[in-house]
Structures are given as structure tokens and as C-alpha cells.
Structure 1
Amino acid sequence: MRSFRLKYNLKQHESASSDALSNYAILLLFSALLYQAFFCFVNTHFFRITPSLLMLTEIVLLTGVVAFFIRGPISLKMLSLLVLVFANAFLLVIFQQHFDPKTIRNLMIPILIIWLGAQYNNKISPDQLLKYFTYIVIAVGLVEFILPAVYRIFFNVIEYQVATGRASDIAIEYSQGGFSMNGTRWGGRHLLPFLGDHRTSSVFLETVNMGNFGVLIACWGLSKKDIKSGLFFIAAAFAVAVLADSRFASTLITILLILRFLLPLKALEITSYLSPFLILLFCFYLYTPINMDDFKTRLGTTGYYILNFKASEFFGLSNYHYSMFVDQGYAYLIHFTGLTLPLIMWFSFCRLNMATNEGRIFKSLFGVLVAANLAISGDSIFSFKWVPIAWFLLGTLLIKKNNIAKG
């Protein structure tokens, strides 16, 4: 009887702990999606938001994940990766004579959030959660597109971006009606030109991340075994891409569609795992020092920077930061963290054990998204607005053994 009570109490404790973790996971994801819009509203109507307040918000949210991680169950492989991230950062500070907490934060997020997703008890199914996020993004996006004056009453995006250091004061003079600089396609809209030149950013406040979110929900929809069950997400993905007039999103969604239906699963996985190297080879082929806002030159400048790196930069040991690599994610990652750690983390990503074929497909498609994004964008793949949702979804699809994710 005593043994039964002990087991019963342990089971009750584990259930309560799992509920608390899952509740926090839901809070974290909604906060990640909406906190920038909330602070923009506050900046517009109440008081100025500072970059340090944004950083503090992210620290608080991630600290909550760390607290659950410490309580366990701990994945030794994920703990080892976290230790490696901190050790690498400590070593580089000595040589670079500069410390940027973003380098730690960027690489901590996937590790911690994948673990969080692996422990999630499906209180609300991941599928339903992503639908809620999609409803919010499209609903706010439609208000912005159809009733821009109403959207501007709540959100003065350009002033918020200036306050938080995402834009300079002079940008206010060139922005249209309080929207961000990339809120207008000055050369004319690429997708459905009759819709006008405005590009929707919804709760993300930036069209880049709006487009990235569109590709993410396309990955989720395309991963479904029964494609009919994924049609909502695929259709929504194209809607998001059109609202944002995102060339990257529309192009990549089309490529993912082709890969999903033409390649067998094993070939899709191999293509995904090799995609960073294949894309980098293409960047080297397009090698160009010219920095312009189009696909070809963004890819070419990525190749140009990396092929002109000094040996020290490949180890992250350079203390001369001559560029922030705004549109060159591979160069940004290598220059500031070294090549070794990203390679280890990519290998670890490839080794993640998925519970179903749907999980394997999602991981493969998302891997292509990560690889492609790093070639044309500096740090949007590390954005706290949509990236935690992606890593969380991945975590929910892992094989679980004794409630601890393998891999």
C-alpha cells in the first residue's frame, strides 16, 4: 500500500510538473509572437521602449525555460551543446576582446526550445497552436492591408524601430505613414502588382519575418501524410507571402512544394542535410562585391565575404568587425562564432530522431528554410518573433523515451 501511494504521489507530481511546463510553453510562444507588437503599441501611445527592455524581456522568457530545463528531465546531449555554446563564447571573448550576448542567445534558443517542445504534453495540439498563430498573423495583416489608417493608430512602426535601434532617425523622413522602410516596395510589388506597393508586416512589424513565418507554416502543411489536412497551412502560407510581397517566401515555398512531391523521403533528407553546402557553393559561383537588394547579389555578396575571410575569421578569432553582414547570414555566423560550432550544431540537427515520417519531412523542409535564409538574410533566422515556434514544433515531433527526447 505504501509503495502504491508513493507511485501515485510521484505520478501526480509528474503530471502537475508537465502541466506547468506545457502552460509555460504556450505562454512563451504567444509572447514571442506578440511582444514586439505590444511594445510597439506602448511606444506609440505611452512611453519610449529601449533596446535593453527588449533584451530583458527575452532574457526573462528564456530564463523560464532554463528553470524547467534544470528541473529536468535533462537531455545530456542538449546539456552538452549548451556547455559548448558558453565555452565557445568565453573563448572568443578572449580573442575578439568584445562580448555580444546575442551570439550566446542565438545558439541557445534552438537547444532550449527543442527541449521544451519535446517535454510538451499536447495540452493544446501543436497543430491547433499553429492555427491560432496563423489566424492572428493573417487577421492583423488584413487589417493593416485593408485599413492601414486603423493599423497606424495602434502601431507607429518606424518610430518604434528608431527607438529600439532597428532604424536611424533619417528613416522617419523616408517611411510612408509610420510603416517601416521595407513596408513599401518602391520598385513596384512583385506578387500581384494590382494590390499596390504596400507590404504587410502584421504583428512582426517587419516584412522579412512575415515572409519567414509563411515558409514555416508551409513546411508544417507539406509535412502532413494526408496532404488534405495540410491544405489550410499551405494556402495560408501563400496568403502570408502575398500580403508581405515576399520574394523569398514565394520562391522558397514553391521550391519546397517541388522537393516534397518529387523526392522520396530519404532523398529529401539527404538534400536537406547537404543544403547549406550546396547553397554556399552557389554563393561562391555568384561571387560579387556589389551589395544590392536582390537575390543574386545577396547570394553573391555572401560568397564574396566568405571567400575573402582571413584564417582567423573561420575560427571566430578576429577582433576587427568590419561589417555586421546584414544580408549575409553565413558570413555573420562564421565571423562572430567561428565555423566549428555551427557545424557541430548542424550535425546535431541532422541527427535528431523524429518519431514519424511526418516529423522527418518537417525537419527536412525546415532545414532547407534555415539553409536558404542564412544565404540572403543576416540574423532573421535567429528572430525571437517566429523562430521559437519553429523549434518548438520540431521538438514536439521527436522520439521520446521515458519523457526524454533522444538526439
Structure 2
Amino acid sequence: MSRWRPETTGGPAWSRLPAARPTAVHRPDTYDLWIRAAGLLVIGTLVFNFLLAFLNTRVMGVSQNIVMLAELVLIAGAMILAADRRAGLYALLAVYLAYVALILAVRPELDLKAIRDGLIPIAFYFLGRRVRDIESVDRVVLLSAGIVVAIGFFEYFLLDLFVANVNVLKYYISRGTLEVGDNLIEDSSLFISGTRMQGRNLLPFLGTHRVSSVFLEPVAMGNYGAFLVLWAAFRKDMAYRGLLFAAACIVIVLGDARFGMMVCFAMIAVMVVYRVVPRLIWLLVPAFITLAMAVYGMSTDALRWEDDLAGRWLHASWLLLKLDTQGVFGISSYGGFLEDNGYAYSLHQLGLIGIAGLWALYIFAPVRSPDAWRFRAPLVTYICLLMVVSASFYSIKTAGLLWFCAGAVDVWRGFAAGRQRGEDPSASR
């Protein structure tokens, strides 16, 4: 009689079931980490002054050295993230630094801002050239717009609470940009131009307050708003394009950026005709504007200027004429105020050879798609017009994002590549 034995060859029934495969865990690849770091760095260029102003108001004094250190960290971070095996960045850096060292050696006084002014476009342009997909840039621009609009509303609707935590005037005095008593409005804690004395130009019922948001001064706010219009007009297939246009309008209106609004109209007009304009013309536009200012400044018999478009042109012409021959080549000891004319400031800081060289490199920089010129032509218009009334174009607060986008566009495959892949722009909404 055979004895029953439990089956032992296969073990319990549950043990013979096929083993479950381990759940796949998504691990971000190197590029995912890189684009997140690059995006955070670009956002940092917009908000670091706002954070330093909060620090200065609520925690400790912030000196000019701390501001310079913060900018240096941001530029160094962009350089590190932009580094790759290609020699273009390193060759340009070597030539640029050698040139600036030469003019600073000849110049009677050392001004390190001359080094910084050129490093910002170089670092962030090459950072943008490492971007693989233009949609990542869209997200950075949208995030920046959301931050600027949110802080802008906070400043406008809760002004007392805003200045209690972010005393703009105190910050600029602490860093040495302004002096006590410079503000025209008694007891105001905003920047000098934070109040439109004669009333607003855009929607006057909003009052005389010009919102600056994270930029702390209205000029940069207006420049940023104009750039948002440019990006939204250029990226015709981006997700949430309408929201970006709306954010741009809010930024321009809150900052009462009348000149920024005019620049928007000029950029849109250029988008219509840019295909028929040769590169040589774009190269020479700054020279034409500089020559026109010089001729006007020498021929006018005006004795004072008004705070309107014609008056700002007159004021810019007078500033340009303050430069002598040495000033044109960047080796002058002139220490006067030139920031209300970007052309005069550029010549004084980098000299004719340096500024012409950097400009030519961008104009003739190769692009991956003809669509890139749909962005570059209005961007050239943006730069050339803004520099008539201000040198704020060099401020990292807006220049970081601008040049990051410019670099990304130049290596982008264009709108046709997205259509060939069958992408649906609304899929990410």
C-alpha cells in the first residue's frame, strides 16, 4: 500500500506563479537634471535682487559686494552649465577676457563692470545653445511670467506690506546705487521712477504707482514685458500662448511702460518684413542710430529735455556727445552718468572694437533653422530701441533670460520639425 506524500517538487501553488516584474522607477536622465538646473538658474537672475532686498529689509544690510558676489555666482553657474566639449565658448571667452584686460590696463581707473557686461550675454547665450527642446524654454518663460505677475499684484494691492518687507529705496541706498534724499517723493520706499509724477500714461485710473515686481525698478519691468510679447509672438505653437500674452500686457500696464509698449509694436512690424532685410542692415542698425543721435545732438539748439520720447532722444544725444575719442574706444576716465543712453554706455564700457565684435558675432552666428530669424530680427529691434533710452539691457535681471532664449532658438530645428513629429501643442495643457 503506497503512502500519500505531499507534492514537494513544485512547492505551494502560489510559489509556482510567474514572478512579478519589479515596478519601473523613472529616474531623470542627465539632461532632465541639467535643464532643471538651467531653468532655476535663469529664474534666479530675475529674482535675486528681490530676495536681496528682502534680506536687506528684514535680516541684515546688503552691500554692493554682496550684490556683485550674487551676480558672479549666477554667471559662473551659467558658465559651468554651458560648458561642453566644443571649443567655441572657450575661444570666445579667451579673446574677450584678453581684450577687456587690455582696455582696463590702459584705462586710468579699474571698472570691473566692463568684464561683467560682456560675460552675461556670452554665458547665457551658450547656456541656451545646450537646450534640446524649445518647449523647455517655454516652461521657463511661463514660470518667470507667473512669478513676476504674482509679485506685481502683491506690490500693487498690498503696497504697505510689500515695502515693509522689501524696502526698495533702502536696498538701493545700501548697495550704493542711490543716496539718501534722491527720491522725489517724501517717505516713499520705492525706486526713484516708481511713481509717475505727472500721472500714468497707460490706464491712468490705476494711480501714479509704477509696479516693479521682482525687478524693483519699472524700466526693467517694462523691458521684461516687451520681451514676453516677443516670445509669445514668436512661439506661435506653444502651449498657453494666450496666457503669456495676457501676462505681458499685465506687466506692461502695471509698470506703465510706455516705451516698452512702443517697442512691442515695432517688433511685431519687423516680424512682417524681416525676410527681405539682409544681415548687413541688421549689423549696421546700431551704427545708424548712434550716428543719428550724434548729428541731432550737434545740430539742435534745445536747452532742456522733457520726459517724453522726443525729450529722451535729445537727452541720449547729449550723453553720447560727452564721450571723447578715448571714450569711444573704452579707455576714457570719464566717470559721469551714461546709463540713460545704452550706446554711450556700451562704447564707454567695452569700446567700439569690443562692442562691434560681439554684435557682429551674434548677427552672423549660424542658426539651425530659418525660423530662428523670425526671433532674431525683432530681438535686434528690441535691443537697438531699448538702448536709446537706457543701459538696463545689460542688467542680468532681464539679460539672463533674453540670451538664454536667444541661444536656444539658434539651435532649434524650427516649426517644421515639430509638425513632422506630429506634435500637438495642446497636449501639454
Find out whether 1:336 has 2:349 as its counterpart.
yes
**CA distance in structure 1 between the partners assigned to 2:386 and 2:343 by the alignment:** 9
**CA distance in structure 1 between the partners assigned to 2:278 and 2:202 by the alignment:** 28
Residues 33-56 of structure 1: per-residue CA shift (max 9 Å, x gap): 111111111111111111100111
Deviation at residue 82 of structure 1 after TM alignment? 1.7
CA 1:121 to 1:269, structure 2 compared with 1: closer, same or farther past 3 Å? same
- 1:385 alignment partner AA: K
**CA distance in structure 2 between the partners assigned to 1:73 and 1:296 by the alignment:** 49
Deviation at residue 119 of structure 1 after TM alignment? 1.0
Match of 2:125 in 1: 114
Find out whether 1:171 has 2:182 as its counterpart.
yes
**CA distance in structure 2 between the partners assigned to 1:390 and 1:376 by the alignment:** 18
Deviation at residue 258 of structure 1 after TM alignment? 2.4
Match of 1:380 in 2: 392
Find out whether 1:370 has 2:383 as its counterpart.
yes
SS in 1 for 2:277: helix
Aligned 8 A contact 2:268 2:378 in 1: no
SS in 2 for 1:24: helix
- The structure 1 residue matched to 2:73, chosen from 60, 67, 71, is 60
Match of 2:12 in 1: none
Aligned 8 A contact 2:43 2:140 in 1: no
Match of 1:43 in 2: 56
- Report which stretch shifted further, 299-308 or 334-343: 299-308
Residues 2-32 of structure 1: per-residue CA shift (max 9 Å, x gap): xxxxxxxxxxxxx955444323212211211
**CA distance in structure 2 between the partners assigned to 1:213 and 1:124 by the alignment:** 20
Deviation at residue 60 of structure 1 after TM alignment? 1.6
**CA distance in structure 2 between the partners assigned to 1:176 and 1:191 by the alignment:** 25
Residues 193-246 of structure 1: per-residue CA shift (max 9 Å, x gap): 111111000111110100010111111112134599744333322221110001
Deviation at residue 166 of structure 1 after TM alignment? 2.0
- The structure 1 residue matched to 2:315, chosen from 280, 296, 301, is 301
Superposed, which structure 2 residues align to 1:29-108 within 5 Å? 29-70=42-83, 72-76=84-88, 78-108=89-119
Deviation at residue 153 of structure 1 after TM alignment? 2.8
- The structure 2 residue matched to 1:215, chosen from 226, 231, 237, is 226
Deviation at residue 268 of structure 1 after TM alignment? 8.3
Find out whether 1:151 has 2:165 as its counterpart.
no
Count how many residue pairs are aligned between Structure 1 and Structure 2. 382
Match of 2:296 in 1: 286
**CA distance in structure 2 between the partners assigned to 1:121 and 1:147 by the alignment:** 40
CA 1:220 to 1:69, structure 2 compared with 1: closer, same or farther past 3 Å? closer
Aligned 8 A contact 1:157 1:179 in 2: yes
- Report which stretch shifted further, 57-66 or 168-177: 168-177
- The structure 1 residue matched to 2:372, chosen from 333, 337, 359, is 359
Find out whether 1:396 has 2:408 as its counterpart.
yes
Aligned 8 A contact 2:220 2:397 in 1: yes
Find out whether 1:256 has 2:264 as its counterpart.
no
Deviation at residue 252 of structure 1 after TM alignment? 0.8
Deviation at residue 161 of structure 1 after TM alignment? 1.2
Structure 1 stretches of 5 or more lacking a match? 1-14, 402-407
Deviation at residue 80 of structure 1 after TM alignment? 2.8
**CA distance in structure 2 between the partners assigned to 1:19 and 1:101 by the alignment:** 35
**CA distance in structure 1 between the partners assigned to 2:375 and 2:278 by the alignment:** 10
- 1:167 alignment partner AA: L
Match of 2:172 in 1: 161
- Report which stretch shifted further, 296-305 or 157-166: 296-305
| Identical amino acids, percent of aligned pairs | 27
- 2:327 alignment partner AA: E
Residues 141-200 of structure 1: per-residue CA shift (max 9 Å, x gap): 112112222322321111111111121111357355421121100011111111111100
Residues 59-93 of structure 1: per-residue CA shift (max 9 Å, x gap): 122222333445x22342x3332222211221112
Deviation at residue 321 of structure 1 after TM alignment? 0.9
Alpha carbon RMSD of aligned pairs, Å?
2.6
**CA distance in structure 2 between the partners assigned to 1:173 and 1:187 by the alignment:** 12
Which protein is bigger by CA-based radius of gyration? Answer: 2
Aligned 8 A contact 2:35 2:136 in 1: no
Aligned 8 A contact 1:328 1:374 in 2: yes
Deviation at residue 293 of structure 1 after TM alignment? 3.6
**CA distance in structure 1 between the partners assigned to 2:193 and 2:118 by the alignment:** 27
Residues 330-354 of structure 1: per-residue CA shift (max 9 Å, x gap): 1111122210111111111111223
- Report which stretch shifted further, 131-140 or 165-174: 165-174
- The structure 2 residue matched to 1:277, chosen from 268, 279, 287, is 287
Aligned 8 A contact 1:175 1:181 in 2: no
Aligned 8 A contact 1:113 1:395 in 2: yes
**CA distance in structure 2 between the partners assigned to 1:216 and 1:113 by the alignment:** 16
**CA distance in structure 2 between the partners assigned to 1:92 and 1:386 by the alignment:** 26
- 1:214 alignment partner AA: G
Match of 2:143 in 1: 132
More helix as a share of residues = 1
**CA distance in structure 1 between the partners assigned to 2:29 and 2:110 by the alignment:** 39
- Report which stretch shifted further, 152-161 or 304-313: 304-313
**CA distance in structure 2 between the partners assigned to 1:229 and 1:22 by the alignment:** 20
Residues 297-325 of structure 1: per-residue CA shift (max 9 Å, x gap): 3322333343463322222222x314230
Structure 2 stretches of 5 or more lacking a match? 1-27, 414-429
TM-score by length of 2: 0.82
**CA distance in structure 2 between the partners assigned to 1:339 and 1:141 by the alignment:** 38
CA 1:357 to 1:220, structure 2 compared with 1: closer, same or farther past 3 Å? farther
Aligned 8 A contact 1:152 1:177 in 2: no
SS in 2 for 1:49: coil
**CA distance in structure 1 between the partners assigned to 2:244 and 2:280 by the alignment:** 25
Match of 2:423 in 1: none
CA 1:280 to 1:175, structure 2 compared with 1: closer, same or farther past 3 Å? farther
SS in 2 for 1:286: helix
